[in-house]
Amino acid sequence: MAQPTGIHARRAALKLVDAVLRRGETLEQSASGALRDVRNQADQALARAIAGEALRWLTDLDALIDSATKQRLPQDAKPRSVLRLMLAQALRLETPPHAVVATGLPLLSGGPRRLAHGVFSTLMKREVALPETPSLPLEVTQRWGKGRAAEIASGLARPPEVDLHIKDAAQTANWQAKLGGVSLAPGHVRIPRGTAIETLEGYAEGAWWVQDLAAMIPTALLGEGWGHALDLCAAPGGKTMALAAAGWQVTALDISKRRLEMLKANLKRTGLKASAVRADALTWEPKHKFDAILLDAPCTATGTCRRHPDVLHRIGPRQIGDMVEVQRTLIARAAEWLKPGGRLVYAVCSLEREEGEDQALWTTETLNLEVKPITASDLPADVDATPEGWVRTHPGLLPESGGLDGFFIALLIKR
């Protein structure tokens, strides 16, 4: 019997969600295996969209499923997983219910198929709807605090638009007009998602690169280049390019060969120059000290939850603790490589206090570094520094403009 059109995309979406929830993989890590049998790019995009929306709204989808079953389905039961995908399509992607049924039920057989059909039909007859913003998993809400979690969740209702970092900030208005976007800061243009980046004007000639607005702040804090800068954990190169465009002599360090090749390709496309070094920052020793160091440290990346909703379901205390130890080692090494009076920017795309505020306190108490307070003039409009002089962003900020990723950023000076 011929399979319904679109079944491959749904089967791939099921594999993606299963890899995140069962094995703790990222969506990107699981994509190569899950999408192996999906040849059509449109179907690959559909599989990613279904999985992404199912993970973004997982808590609310589960609540709907539980409201229509007499006996609660186990969290890892296949009918629950399939129903999550079916409801995500019907309630978020506006797929007609008959198409959802035709492509969803073949993922099951026997009694589970009848169960899923019954639950889905019941919910459609009730004309159920999802809340205005996603409900976060209970453990995430407990970790972030109820009020803060609600603020963050307000920025997660939809995937984000695309931010571009303009190589020549003086040309921001020009590129805003050409690309039909909006600008929230000099050197920044935000455009709608959904367009193939490589086809946009300015891509081939390297006039800009993709980089979230929050990720632009760390390099901006180092200002115009006047000496040697080190970009630790540099690939794929957004911050390296920003430092080079500002006039710094940049050493870009990363351990990953594949990601370092991406960095080199980005430098070539933009015509910017940096010295790329493949090495482990935990063992590498530089030949000289630096005037400025940017440490965008390895982290749990929970601040990227609006574009990577899998982090809401993969990250817990163990992963946070592991990252804290790595970060402290890297901060201590970076402090050794900094000239007296030199600047160190510590940044993480994490919403966890242990990786942000607690690290800044540990740094100033333990190392020969002191905080240089960040001021409003250093930041995009409507992004404020904390009373301590740090920066903390999250997806719920700038709601009228589409939000931004969650970052913690501190500017430190070597005594």
Of these residues, 233, 299, 305, 349, which one is catalytic?
A: 349
233 has catalytic annotation: no
Q: Which long-range contacts (CB under 8 A, 24 or more apart) does 139-143 make?
A: 139/316, 140/312, 143/352
365: its two tokens: 């108490």
List all residues 6 or more positions away from 221 whose beta carbon is below 8 Å from its beta carbon: 343, 345, 374, 378, 409, 411
Q: Could you tell me which residues are beta bridge partners of residue 229?
A: 250, 292
Give the catalytic positions in this structure: 349
